[in-house]
Chains A and B, each alone.
Chain A
C-alpha cells in the first residue's frame, strides 16, 4: 500500500480504456453518490454469457477513474460468472496498489460491475 498513485493508476486515469456509454446495453450498473465524490456507471453487452463489450462513465478522483478503467479491461471477454468473482483487491492489485484511503474506489468499480451483471440477468430472466 502506497500513499501516492502508481504509474499504472496515472496511466489509466490519463488514458481511460473503454470510456463512454453503450446505447443498447444489456445491463447497466450505477453505484456511488455525488456527496461522497464518486459515481460510476458500467454498461455491458453480453453474448453467450460472456461480456462482449463494456464501457464506463465515472465522476470522481483519479483512483475512481483508474479503477473503473482497469476493471472494464479485466473482465472484457470473460464469462459473467468469472466477472462476478472480481474483487476490490483484484482491481487494486492490478493497478499496482492504491493508497489505503482510496481503496473504496476499487470497491465501487467491482460493485458497479456486479450491479450491471445483475441488471442483465434480471432483464433476461436468467
Chain B
C-alpha cells in the first residue's frame, strides 16, 4: 500500500545530510564537551560550530544561543526564567504576562502554572483566522507587564501572528518579547534583530533534525533564572552534559534550513495550494486558519457531520498519516483550544483534519490524498446520523 506522510508539523524525518553529520558523535567524537582533554575539546568545538549555524538562521550572535532538549524546554526556560528573575529582583515591573489563547500547551500550561504562583496572565483572544489584534495587545500592556509571549506560527491552523508589529510594541513599552517559533523556522525568513525579538524557541525535530534537541535564543542583556541547576553548562542557564549528536544535528538542520529555505517554501506553497484547492471541492468542507497569513506547509480543514479521530484512523488504513483537533483523539476529551478560540463550536471542531507537508512531500502524495479523502469522508458521512443527504 502507498504510504503518505502528511504530519510534518508533528515531526519530520532526519535529513540524510544531518544524520551523516551526527553519526561520528555517538562513538568516535564522544567526549564530554566540558572535559579539557582532546576528546572533550573536539566535542566542544563541534558544539560551537552548531551554535554559529543556529545563530545564522536567526541572524543572532552565537553567544545568544542556549541549547536545550527541545521546544517545550525552551518555552519553559524563557517564560519561567524571565518570570522568576523578575520576582527575584522585586522589579518595579510587577507580575503581569501577556500571551494568547492559541499558544502551544508548552506556553499555555507554563503560564497557567505561573498564575498559581501569583503571576497575572492575560490571554489575548484571536479573530476567526487565529490572529491576535495588535491594538488589544497594546491596550493590555500596563506598567506591571514584563513579558509578552506570542507564537510565531500556529502549530494547528498555521496562522502567522503579526510578529513584526508585536516587536515594535514591546520595544516601545520596554517589555520582553518571547516567541515560540518551533513551527515557523525554516519556513519564514526570521531575523531576531529586525523583529525586535528577545527570546525565541526552536526545536530540531521539526526541521529535519533529531528529536530531543532544541535551542533558545536569549538576547544579550536579557536575564533569566535557570530551571536546571547543576554543572553550570550553557552560561549557567541550562546545566546538563551537552547532547553533542543532538546539538550537531540541530546545527546542520539549521544550516540546511537556511540554505534551502526559498526552495523549500516554494515547493511547500505549490503543493499546499494544490491540496487546499482539491480538498475544498468536497461538499461542506471548510479551511481553518488564515487564507494567506499561514505557514507554507499547513492545510487545516473541517468537515461537517464527521468526527476527526475516525477520519484519521480511516486515512491511516489508506496509508495516510494526518492529525486532528477533535476531542475524541485527546485523553482530556476536550476539543482543541485553538479551534474553540477561533470561534468554532465543539461540534465543528470535532470534524477537523490537519494535513502538513514537508521537504520530502511530492505532487503524487497530494494527488493520492486528494483522491482518497473524498471517498473516506463520504464513507463516514454514510454512517453518520447527522448527515442528511
Chain A interface (Cβ < 8 Å from any Cβ of B): 3, 10, 13-14, 16, 19, 30, 34-41, 57-65, 99, 101
Contacts and interface: CB of A to CB of B under 8 A. Distances in A.
Nearest to A41: B385
Interface string B319-359: 00000001111010101000000000111001000000000
Contacts of B345: 35
Interface stretch (B169-177, B222-230, B306-314): B306-314
Contact of B383 (A3, A57, A101): A57
Interface in B369-384: 382-384
A100 to B, nearest CB: 9
A12 B350 CA distance: 21
Contact of B385 (A10, A13, A39): A39
B354 to A, nearest CB: 16
Interface of B: 305-307, 309-310, 313-314, 317, 326-329, 331, 333, 335, 345-347, 350, 382-387
A41 B385 CA distance: 7
Given A59-B386, A60-B310, A35 B347 contact: yes
A65 B328 contact: no
Contacts of B307: 37-38, 59-61, 64
8 contacts: A14-B317, A34-B350, A37-B307, A37-B335, A60-B310, A62-B309, A62-B310, A64-B307
Contacts of A37: 307, 326-328, 333, 335, 346-347, 350
Given A35-B345, A35-B347, A38-B328, A16 B310 contact: no
Given A59-B305, A60-B307, A62-B313, 17 more contacts: A13-B310, A16-B383, A19-B383, A34-B350, A36-B327, A36-B346, A37-B327, A37-B347, A39-B384, A39-B385, A58-B384, A59-B306, A59-B386, A60-B310, A60-B328, A61-B310, A99-B331
Contacts of A10: 313
A62 B89 CA distance: 53
A65 B383 CA distance: 9
Contacts of B347: 34-35, 37
A99 B331 CA distance: 9
Q: Which of A14, A41, A59 neighbours the largest number of chain B CB atoms within 10 Å of its CB?
A: A59
Contact of B333 (A57, A59, A101): A101
A69 to B, nearest CB: 10
B328 A61 contact: yes
A62 B313 CA distance: 8
Nearest to A63: B328
Nearest to B387: A59
B347 to A, nearest CB: 4
B90 to A, nearest CB: 44
Given A34-B350, A37-B307, A61-B329, A13 B313 contact: yes
B353 to A, nearest CB: 14
A30 B335 CA distance: 22
What 9 pairs across the A-B complex have the smallest Cβ distances? A61-B328, A34-B347, A61-B309, A57-B385, A59-B384, A41-B385, A37-B350, A35-B346, A59-B386
Nearest to A39: B385
Nearest to A21: B385
B168 to A, nearest CB: 41
B328 A39 contact: no
Nearest to B317: A14
A59 B345 CA distance: 16
A65 B333 CA distance: 17
A30 B385 CA distance: 9
Contacts of B387: 59
A47 to B, nearest CB: 24
A57 B307 CA distance: 13
Contacts of A38: 307, 328
B346 A58 contact: no
Most chain B CB inside 10 Å of its own CB: which residue of A3, A41, A62: A62
A41 B305 CA distance: 14
B372 to A, nearest CB: 15
B384 A61 contact: no
Contacts of B328: 37-38, 60-61, 63-64
A39 B313 CA distance: 18
Given A35-B347, A61-B328, A40 B385 contact: yes
A58 B326 contact: no
Contacts of A65: 310, 383
